[in-house]
Structure 1
Amino acid sequence: MSQTLTWNAGPVSMAFEYADGQPVVMRALEINGVSVQFPESTPIAEVMTTDTGHMISCNKLTHTVIGRELRYSSHQTNTTGYRSELKIVLEDEDRDLEVAVRYSVDERSPMVQTDVTVTNMGLEPVLLDSVTSWSSTFGIPANADEGTESGLEHWDLLEGRFDWLAEGRWSRKSLRELLPAIGQELTNVDPRQSHQVVSTGTWSTGTNVPLAILESKAMKLAWLFQIEHNGAWRWDVQDNTADGCVALSGPTNENHAWFKELHLGESFTTVPASFTIAHEFDGVIANVTDYRREVRSPHVDNVEPSVVFNDYMNTIYGDPTTEKELPLIEAAGKAGIEIFVIDCGWYDDTGNWWPSVGEWMPSKTRFPGEKGIVEVIDAIKDAGMIPGIWIEPEVIGVKSPMAQKLPDSAFFQRHGKRVVEQERYLLDLRDPAARRHLDSVIDRLVGEYGIGYFKFDYNVSPGAGTDYDADAPGAGLLGHNRAYSDWIDGLRERYPDVILENCSSGGMREDFAQTSRFQVQSTSDQQDFRLYPVIAAASPMMVLPEQAASWAYPQSDMGAEETAFNINTTFLGRFFLSGYLNRMNERQLAWVQEGVNAYKKHVQPVIGESKPFWPMGLPGWNDKVLALGLDAGDRALATVWSRDSEGGDVRLHLDRWTGRAGEVSAVYPVDGYAQWPVHWDAASGELVVTVPSDGGYVSRTFEVNFN
């Protein structure tokens, strides 16, 4: 006879069903009043070992023998502060396995986090090949008519593609386009086909994205799911005949050279995953935005993000000197910048900064004065700005003194050799010597120089990982990934006021394991201001608006419109500026100053509580006109970019405010600029903007205040 377990935690309610001869399955889920039932279901944990494999021949993350044979043993609940947890303990008595599935909810946010712990309770070793962090069928609305089926034809999949300089490319496809109907019902066996998305190495968003959305407009239901991991991962969307299924995982043996051997009493815990539901795309985006804010590391900079200048992009390019920095610092201070960052090269005496990284001692040739780099840092402070500096903590250049000072155990290794990638060794932060080295570097830079902002970069990836002191390269890599996160947590505890930026060749690690620990997230290394708006507009899909550092790099050879176009690319995110401000004339510098002032007045006070929306839909890479909006309650901010378009009326959908009276004003640029005709159509819920027909790269940001 089946039994039901129901758990309520803030905005979340979950119901599970189990019986002596059946695995535990989820039967119902409600988040923020949106309810789903699961007539068809899948086990809540899927475990594959070398000597068990699948029930049917396939390479899915699901359909495992152990998943089918796990049985309910017990469950516990716990609440501490805002955090509630449910742990369901499963057993496979024949194999002496205990599997604990943990669900966790912050009662202030409508999202569920989950992971799975496998423990060997027997004398024989357990050889793990994969363990899911979460899996579920799609389900149907709880109020659906009897006989309603969740066929794949009802569902679209929204997924993202990233690459260096080309982050944030999202596309929507019908699941039936990805997983065609193949008549499997005639075989009485679920098909092998699934849509598998895999990321290897440590660039967790280097090619694919560990977050996706499933939406059925017919059923008014949407899922958002993500893998919260800064290393290798995989997610599947499957055709299970009667319903679709989604499964999330960290590294696996098949995809990532991962393997874990458990002896008596030993355990392995998967990387965390999280999921939410709503009626539509906008709803799940609002949910994940709330979740990101509530569970990220607390910091005074989170609510009103500081304005940043960085000397690298289209400016000094890794060749800093006292002579170059001092005029930039003076100009940045006059422009109203709050943080000034010295980027790469500051430690290099050779003229080739790339292979010399790792010791992090200031160059004496680049900063030749009596005070050395302190002269530059003091100038930043005297201009009223926080000094920031770039380091790439996880690598040691092959020409760095630290390459010989640190033991081999401090580095990634395979087959007894240090792993080398583009003239860099990679630190293995499982090793105490590696962590001590990095701690001493941070302590010195904060203690001796007063650094208040770090840009942490990461420009190489180690492939499968390290087999030193690990069952397999993927297991060594996972250990390092987790050790790196622990190291960041330690920095947060020692230096709670220091601001941390996560940069990995631009946006190559925009996973939630990283972004939950950093105040600033670089979105790209893109150097062409004409291409960047797509990346900037799409960035809130992965990070909070106030974290999203999209570069603006106006130059002295740019006119008014190109300058405004640049500034608007960073305007509805973390204001992130570069460019030779010191070479601008007074008029050009005034355009930049107007942007900084407008940001501080209109965006900075509200962005930390706003929600992103896309009034023209998510941008396409080649779109001529694109837009991004911020929902700030009774106020909406919207930026429109026109990339050499034919102009004409553009209708921005502000559906949430339909029927409300609103007053529209231009926010940036304003002074000396031609104003675009714009009006609010309350009846249709549209902001109608007339884009000029004379082409060029032009942009405007508007504000609508609703009564």
Structure 2
Amino acid sequence: MERINIFENKINMVLEITDENQIKLLHFSALPFNERDIVSKTREGSFNLVELNISGLDRPLERHGTKYIVTAPGYRMKYKEHKDYRNKLGRKLEITTFDQATGATVVSHIQFYDGVSVIRSWSEVFNKGNETFTLEYISSFNYTGIEKEGILPRDEKMQLKIPHNSWQREMDWQTYTLEQLGIAQSQPTIEQRSSKAIGISNTGNWSTKEYLPMGFLENTETSTNIFWQIEHNGSWHWEISDQAAHLYLALSGPTETESHWYKNLKPNDKFVSVPVAVGVTAGNFDVAMGELTKYRRKIRRPNKDNESLAIIFNDYMNCLWADPTTEKELPLIDAASKAGCEYFCIDAGWYSSGFWWDNVGEWRESSERFPNGLKEVTNYIRSKGMIPGVWLELEVMGIKCPKASEVPDNWFFIRHGKKVHDRSRYQLDFRNPEVIKYVNGVIDRLIDEYGVGYIKMDYNIEPGIGTEINTDSIGDGLLGHERAYLAWLDSIFNKYPDLIIENCSSGGLRLDYAMLQRYSIQSTSDQDDYRRYATIAANSPSGLTPEQSAIWSYPMNEGDKDEVIFNMVNAMLLRIHQSGHLAQIADERKALVKEALDYYKTIRNDIKSSVPFWPLGLSKFSDTWVSLGLKAENKIYVAVWRRNSATGNCIIPINYTGEKAVYVRCAYPNIEDCKYSWNSINKTLTVELPKQFTARLFEITLS
């Protein structure tokens, strides 16, 4: 038996090569390894570094249900070799295991990142045998013993946070005990072989339509945690269940059982799993999300937008509602420019004179909407010192688009011999070179003819499990398309490095870090009630970095000063997506918008390097008080929202000031009637907001 002990970036990791020449992942934690924490009597079939399942093989060891344990040949994989070296990112492990009978060989990649307690992990599967085999499952990360530290029973100390996600209800985190999730211990500790798993999945191209591909598991006894994100823009799966006296965590991309995916590997072929990120910290959720925020910045494409944090005006939300014309746009452009916006995006409808939903695909301007051409409007935007942008939905083609009947069926997703419909659109297949040629032409034309520097790339359908053409399985057709889409994005940013493309999928329904490694900015929601939006805004830095988190701020035509302030505070610690009909609201309300944008320009340099915290905890939509904080080097910014609270006072803990002197001011709005008090002993900020549905932004200077 041999042990490989690793301590890197506050991560303790222990691998064991057994006497049977199998490699086991015994430990991955913020705490040092304690041999006594492992209570399993056997390593056989458990603690596997990687799980993979190939069709037609027996799974002889104990396994109930469809859990991803005792996979075959996963349970019998042998250790071959490992590499341990450094690259420009940090330390890197590459561990090779193999199965003699099938020739299946797996290289497990574990990339550390200097200064961050997060790894990236993925698996490469090779067929080194003489016959084709069918891969049904491959883990990207697999770890047994996630509950083992401490002496309390697992049901008393483990809590799991799951980020539910849906249209207009994005990033809705809920906390569960194991009992609430149906896996309370009901067998002797040494057995624990139930058929139940906590399984969270996505199947389809809307990667976050029900959940973010994330999780956070906390050991309340030891104040430690493990957290993860799956970095894929389609089907994915993670699960927690029991095996051999412990709980395990398995992370993967698409699977056969959940998402109709399998892959035939011929001799000498290989398959690469989707990457995942896994981190551990000693501390609470805030600490973990701080590490994940730093990691997300490290893997992201370098770009100017995440350095400058430009302010975007978009004419859609509580404004033109996808009904643009030259006549409507010109006064809006004037108002947005006076307020201090730097980009102006013309949203949906610019390409169609009437109902545009089912005829998208040509992407030619409507002469009815723009009698003198769209270029008149984009030139006017530039004349006002802003960069023009437009809305696109390039991945679909409406069923009434003339082009849809002119191109062959292999441009689209096909199932059962028919083109896949969803909401009167067809899904384009980005594996097809002709599709790539078509979408490249659209991008080139918009940039060359109109000087577009911003694209809102929307996506409003769910084409389901995939496509059956040119693929082994329907799910693998989907995976191929998604990887082709990412490669296309890479090519566009390579050609146009300063182009800003916003990731939008009916708001935040593809909020994943396959996409967000490329896109610099992400629409977080289509929520059109600013009072509810406060919860999405406050929680958004859990799902993505603050500088990528686009939050609508849309003063209402019939609103008042407090409504404007609430709207602006929603966005001011993140990315301001300004909207609302600024040309029609009263001057005093316009002044509050401009004051907010002017102040934002003084703090956005801090936002791009800050990490989030939640003084009142993650927000629920029922919360009457909401708060979000950002920690920068010598500043702390705290947004506070009062919704329908019966009381006008709230005590907000600020536990990140250290021993430094503290100076607090109400930074927005700059009004004299803002009442607050800092308690240096308790490190709390007491805020008084006498009216319901009001908000303030505080700046705390540390010295």
On whether the aligned pair clears a TM of 0.5, the verdict is yes
Per-residue CA deviation, residues 489-544 of structure 1 (Å, 9 max, x unaligned), is 11111111111210000000111111121111111001111211111111111011
The partner residue of 2:80 within 73, 96, 103 is 73
Per-residue CA deviation, residues 440-475 of structure 1 (Å, 9 max, x unaligned), is 111111122111111110100111110111111111
Q: Could you say which residue in structure 1 is the equivalent of 2:260? A: 257
State whether residues 303 and 609 of structure 1, in contact with CA within 8 Å, keep that contact through their aligned partners in structure 2.
no
Structure 2: distance between partners of 1:589 and 1:149: 57
Q: Could you say which residue in structure 1 is the equivalent of 2:490? A: 489
Structure 1: distance between partners of 2:294 and 2:5: 24
> TM-score, structure 1 length as denominator?
0.94
> AA paired with 1:15?
V
> AA paired with 2:611?
K
How many angstroms does 1:418 deviate by? Answer: 1.1
Aligned to 1:328, the other structure's residue is in SS state helix
Q: Could you say which residue in structure 1 is the equivalent of 2:365? A: 362
Q: Could you say which residue in structure 1 is the equivalent of 2:142? A: 135
Quick one: structure 1 residues 133 and 630, their matched pair in 2 at CA, closer, same or farther if it must change by over 3 Å? same
State whether residues 150 and 243 of structure 1, in contact with CA within 8 Å, keep that contact through their aligned partners in structure 2.
no
Q: Could you say which residue in structure 1 is the equivalent of 2:318? A: 314
State whether residues 52 and 137 of structure 2, in contact with CA within 8 Å, keep that contact through their aligned partners in structure 1.
yes
Q: Check if 1:329 corresponds to 2:333.
A: yes
Q: Could you say which residue in structure 1 is the equivalent of 2:48? A: 43
Report % sequence identity. 36
Structure 1: distance between partners of 2:113 and 2:190: 44
How many angstroms does 1:407 deviate by? Answer: 2.4
Aligned to 1:606, the other structure's residue is in SS state helix
Structure 1: distance between partners of 2:128 and 2:544: 40
Q: Could you say which residue in structure 2 is the equivalent of 1:283? A: 287
1:285-684 to structure 2, matched below 5 A, reads 285-349=289-353, 351-369=354-372, 372-601=373-602, 603-671=603-671, 675-684=673-682
> AA paired with 2:567?
N
State whether residues 149 and 243 of structure 1, in contact with CA within 8 Å, keep that contact through their aligned partners in structure 2.
no
State whether residues 170 and 618 of structure 1, in contact with CA within 8 Å, keep that contact through their aligned partners in structure 2.
yes
How many angstroms does 1:8 deviate by? Answer: 6.2
State whether residues 659 and 684 of structure 1, in contact with CA within 8 Å, keep that contact through their aligned partners in structure 2.
no
1:205-216 to structure 2, matched below 5 A, reads 205-216=208-219
Structure 1: distance between partners of 2:282 and 2:687: 29
Q: Could you say which residue in structure 2 is the equivalent of 1:704? A: 700
Quick one: structure 1 residues 24 and 179, their matched pair in 2 at CA, closer, same or farther if it must change by over 3 Å? farther
Per-residue CA deviation, residues 66-103 of structure 1 (Å, 9 max, x unaligned), is 22100101122443323542211101102221111111
Aligned to 1:436, the other structure's residue is in SS state helix
Structure 2: distance between partners of 1:395 and 1:68: 43
State whether residues 113 and 275 of structure 1, in contact with CA within 8 Å, keep that contact through their aligned partners in structure 2.
yes
Quick one: structure 1 residues 656 and 421, their matched pair in 2 at CA, closer, same or farther if it must change by over 3 Å? same
Q: Check if 1:201 corresponds to 2:201.
A: no
Q: Check if 1:228 corresponds to 2:231.
A: yes
Aligned to 2:268, the other structure's residue is in SS state coil
Bigger drift between 197-206 and 405-414 goes to 405-414
Q: Which runs of 5+ in 2 are unaligned?
A: 41-45
The partner residue of 1:170 within 168, 173, 189 is 173
Structure 1: distance between partners of 2:630 and 2:363: 39
Structure 1: distance between partners of 2:201 and 2:390: 33
State whether residues 147 and 154 of structure 2, in contact with CA within 8 Å, keep that contact through their aligned partners in structure 1.
no
How many angstroms does 1:108 deviate by? Answer: 4.4
Bigger drift between 321-330 and 274-283 goes to 274-283
Alignment RMSD: 1.9
> TM-score, structure 2 length as denominator?
0.95
Structure 1: distance between partners of 2:605 and 2:132: 56
Q: Could you say which residue in structure 2 is the equivalent of 1:16? A: 15
State whether residues 164 and 507 of structure 1, in contact with CA within 8 Å, keep that contact through their aligned partners in structure 2.
yes
Structure 2: distance between partners of 1:161 and 1:84: 33
Per-residue CA deviation, residues 28-67 of structure 1 (Å, 9 max, x unaligned), is 4466xx5455736620110112212643232112232322
Structure 2: distance between partners of 1:490 and 1:593: 37
Structure 1: distance between partners of 2:163 and 2:481: 26
State whether residues 406 and 434 of structure 1, in contact with CA within 8 Å, keep that contact through their aligned partners in structure 2.
no
> AA paired with 1:504?
S
> AA paired with 1:232?
S
How many angstroms does 1:555 deviate by? Answer: 2.5
Structure 1: distance between partners of 2:340 and 2:53: 57
State whether residues 562 and 698 of structure 1, in contact with CA within 8 Å, keep that contact through their aligned partners in structure 2.
yes
Aligned length: 692
> AA paired with 2:374?
I
Bigger drift between 498-507 and 276-285 goes to 276-285
State whether residues 11 and 107 of structure 1, in contact with CA within 8 Å, keep that contact through their aligned partners in structure 2.
no
How many angstroms does 1:267 deviate by? Answer: 1.4
State whether residues 150 and 244 of structure 1, in contact with CA within 8 Å, keep that contact through their aligned partners in structure 2.
no
State whether residues 54 and 72 of structure 2, in contact with CA within 8 Å, keep that contact through their aligned partners in structure 1.
no
Q: Could you say which residue in structure 2 is the equivalent of 1:217? A: 220
> AA paired with 1:407?
P
Aligned to 1:575, the other structure's residue is in SS state strand
Structure 1: distance between partners of 2:382 and 2:401: 30
Quick one: structure 1 residues 505 and 35, their matched pair in 2 at CA, closer, same or farther if it must change by over 3 Å? farther
Structure 2: distance between partners of 1:554 and 1:536: 16
